[in-house]
Structure 1
Amino acid sequence: MPRSTTVREVGGGTQSVERALSLLRAFTEEHPERRVSELVQLTGLGQSTVSRLVGTLEALGYVTHDARSGLYRIGPTVVGLAGIALNQSPIHRQSRQIAQDLASELGLGANVAERHGAELFYLCNFEGRLAPRSFTLVGRSGPLHATAMGKALLSDLTADEIESLLGARYPVYTPKTIADLDGLLAALADGRSRGYTTELEELAFGRACLAAPVRDRSGRVVAALSVSGPLSALDLPHRQDELALKVIEHADQISTGLGYHASATPLSATV
């Protein structure tokens, strides 16, 4: 099929676009590879329709096909578009080097995220020597109530706004996960008083995180910066104050780069 083929050619204009996007959405972190039969089952589309659409997506580079296994996976065109989107983000551009330097200095993971609706969305992820990962968090989403970055992103919202945003959705990941609005509000109040938020085995056993909010020129919280890693690497009983000061300092740098002036809204707090 020629490289110039468009989704419209497989029939239906907007409907074909919607169907093609539904196929792409079937690829997830948990299931990065799919067979045609799986795509048929997940989307409810006919096999002939799925086969035609997948063929077009492959020709355009949105998916690739392993002839040996019969599996499809996300292709280079999607990766290219993701890179364009990240490079157009002022937050990503301003925070990337700062987060990378922080990860190198501390040997821990350094992450930047912004809020998309009721979830956080990772824009940057760098691993330090003490907190290696075999995968990147960039592009992944996460819960607001069970992460230090999520709490930082919620830190300038009112109780009513948080209730409207999250409703009763407080999935429990470990016995330490905050499971209701009152618990979350208490954690946010604690975070505001200290200038940073924490997560101690709330999302995953054996891991912890400290985060600080990032503000734009209006003073609004637009992102969060965190340091994270295994409990043994963070050594919070001895290093929490040190790590908190580092994450606040670097979050302040990003905020300043985004045009924020500390006189407008209190940002840092004494740890």
Structure 2
Amino acid sequence: MKKDGIRRKPVELHAPAEHDADARDGGVQSVDRALLLIETLAEDDEGYRLTDLAVRTGLSPSTVHRLLTTLEKRRFVQFDRSESIWYIGARSFSVGTTFLRRRSFSAQALPFLRKLRDQTRETANLAVVDDGSVMIVNRAESREIMRTVTKVGGRVPMVASGLGKAVLSTYSEDEVHAVIRRQGMPKLTAKSVVRAGELCKILQTIREQGYSVDDEEAVMGLRCVSAVVYDDRSEPLAAISVSGTTARVPVDRLPVLGKIVRDVAQELTTALGGVVPVVIRTA
């Protein structure tokens, strides 16, 4: 499932034409393909053989090999010669962490995520909005046995996640519809919200109670409770959540978790110098 949605291109049978195309467009095509390889390798910790990577990306094996050897020299990928498998490289990690350094609150949030994890015994997550999706940037894993569906760096559509809906609840109706037009309302499970009118009603409830719920809307068998972290202008900076299996997070536990998540989000907001907007709660 984690490999769904990968951008694919038609298999190109003539390697010399690829070189000619690269020359004509100043190498932009090669850059795009190299980044596609890095993105694909980053999806699977177990790595890929060259032929499998070619199939996943829709590129010819010769093109994949040429780009991988260049990326290996720059340490963006690495090659296990004993197993003939390619992995994401150390340089990709060091470049990627620049994003987190720019958003320095990620490290500051970790003690609050641990507190949230210890109070609920569920996995606590920190996420930011990036390009219309929510991206997990930090996490405190539950000590209970569970499956981690979205790893750090993973993305989920805003409309299909508790984290995303929490942030959407701070948007105006026009801004919400702009998000829907941009990314649609994907039906990831049988319980996904796929109608704009229903989503708007849910967002109003979130505004009133101060937390959102993902009730198996992104992944069957998994529930998530989220709240917004605000900046000094009372604008959404990030969102935090706890997620757990439906067996450990039954429906009657949601209000209790919602209050805990909301309170910790307010504490983190204050610690970061943010300001929680004044609203009237009904719960």
TM tier relative to shorter chain:
0.7 to 0.9
Q: Give 2:242's match in structure 1, choosing from 227, 236, 242.
A: 227
Contact 1:109 1:131 in 2 (8 A): no
One-letter identity of the residue aligned with 1:174: T
1:218 Cα deviation from its structure 2 partner: 0.8
Q: What's the offset of the Cα at 1:252?
A: 0.6
State the match for 1:188 in structure 2: 203
Counterpart check, 1:89 vs 2:107: no
State the distance in 1 between where 2:65 and 2:254 align: 54
TM-score by length of 2: 0.81
Shift of 1:129: 2.2
The match for 1:25 among 9, 28, 39 is 39
The percent of aligned pairs where both chains have the same amino acid is 30
Query: What displacement does 1:85 show?
Result: 2.7
Match of 2:154 among 140, 143, 159: 140
**Alignment CA distance shift 1:90-1:267 (3 Å):** farther
TM (normalized to structure 1)? Answer: 0.84
SS in 1 for 2:159: coil
Q: What amino acid sits opposite 2:202 in the alignment?
A: A
Residue 15 of structure 1 deviates from its aligned partner by 5.3
Is 2:278 aligned against 1:266? Answer: yes
How far has the Cα of 1:131 moved from its partner?
Answer: 5.2
Counterpart amino acid of residue 143 in structure 1: P
Match in the other structure for 2:4: none
Shift of 1:102: 1.2
Moved over 4 A (4+): 10-16, 38-49
| Matched residue, 1:201 | 216
Pick from 118, 123, 126: which aligns with 2:137?
Answer: 123
Distance across 2 between alignment mates of 1:182 and 1:106? 32
* Cα distance in structure 1, aligned partners of 2:190 and 2:160: 11
Structure 1 residue 43: Cα displacement: 5.2
Q: Give, in angstroms, the shift of residue 268 of structure 1.
A: 8.2
| Aligned residue in 2 for 1:163 | 177
- After superposing the two structures, state which structure 1 stretch, 189-198 or 173-182, moved more: 173-182
Gaps of 5+ in 1: 1-9
1:151-185, Cα deviation, whole Å (9 max, x unpaired): 01111112221211221711112221101211111
Deviation at 1:93, TM superposition (A): 2.5
Question: Which has the higher mean CA deviation after the structures are superposed, 171-180 or 45-54?
Answer: 45-54
Distance 1:127 1:31 in 2: 18
Q: After the TM superposition, which of the residue ranges 119-128 and 167-176 deviates more from structure 2?
A: 167-176
In 1, Cα distance between equivalents of 2:208 and 2:136:
25
Unaligned runs of 5+ in 2: 1-21
Match of 1:6 in 2: none
Specify whether residues 25 and 155 from structure 1 end up closer, same or farther in structure 2 by C-alpha distance, changes over 3 A only: same
How many matched pairs? 259
Name the CA shift for 1:158/1:60 in 2 (closer, same or farther; >3 Å).
same
Q: After the TM superposition, which residues 102-113 of structure 1 pair with which residues of structure 2 at under 5 Å, given as runs?
A: 102-113=116-127
Code of the residue aligned with 2:133 in structure 1: it is E
Task: Decide whether the 8 Å contact of 1:22 with 1:43 is kept in 2.
Answer: yes
Cα pair 1:117 1:165 within 8 Å, conserved = no
- Where in structure 2 are the equivalents of 1:53-72 lying within 5 Å? 53-72=67-86
